[in-house]
Amino acid sequence: MRLWLKWSALGISLAVLVAAAVLGALWLRAEEVTSVVVTEAEATAEEPTTELTTEEPATEEPTTEESTTAAPQRPSTKAEIVAYFNESANRVKAERPGYAWKDRVLIDRSAIQCSNRMLDALAPRVLRVVSPIAKFGQWQPQKPVAKGTDHKGFPVENQNWASKLEPGFVKSAICIESGGEYQINIILADEDVPTLPENPTILRTGKVMNAWDAELLEDAKMAEPFVSITNFGTNYRDCRITCAIDKTTGDLKEITYTISCILEIDVKQFGKAHASVPFTREENYIIES
């Protein structure tokens, strides 16, 4: 798996100690992270289910036809917007146009919750050790990908497709026309994942963006053997996609993925303890013309 997260102190609570293990593991996977960009979105009346999906993803190849996505008129319904977005995103994997990208991460220290006061008291020591590691909130440019080369790093990572999003996975979707572009904003339905899966693409969230997998738990255990991490879950909340698509060609021009979740971490240290850590990662991609 591509190394894709950088860690720092989680805050001034036990969660910092617990998350030190987790953050240490993600430091090994790492670049940088996010703050949520709030944009307008239209709510829908029917809320989708929040149950964990279990079906394995299909392996069909994305379409390789050129310039077939252009919409005769602006997509307006949720289903139309999702279908239009899927086709444009999947063409990036199929046609390999090249792209530049950057990422950043944000942890809300004030919102960290921890159940164990004894471990909470150790937080300042841990904070002094790990806080210099990451530059939270700062965009970190990554190595660009050239035209015609392997695009497996483009979300969804290590797949031959970029999106298998379905209308039922979406909380809201809006498409507006701006000059020669369609600007799309999609907010995903919330999804609770009690235990990290081996294959994150079985998740609704994992069918359109890079979701967490079970490897993270193993990395965390190796990074911080002092803390016995017994379980690692993620509750995805208001994950978001914002993108610009050329309305004439249907080519994806720029896209930002905002992966927002609450990390639910169980540990066995000085008794059992639990930490809830709000965590947001943002990835921005500019596609070559």
Instruction: Say what the pTM is.
Output: 0.76
Q: Is the pLDDT of residue 106 over 80?
A: yes
pLDDT grade for 225, boundaries at 50, 70 and 90: low
Q: How many CB atoms lie within 10 A of CB 237?
A: 16
| Share above pLDDT 70 across residues of the chain, in percent, rounded to a whole number | 65
Inter-residue contact 92 to 151 (CB < 8 Å) = yes
**Are 254 and 224 spatial neighbours (Cβ–Cβ below 8 Å)?**
no
pLDDT of residue 272: 81
Which has the higher per-residue pLDDT, 181 or 113? 181
Mean per-residue pLDDT, 54-77: 57
Mean pLDDT of 87-106: 96
Residue 117 predicted with pLDDT over 80: no
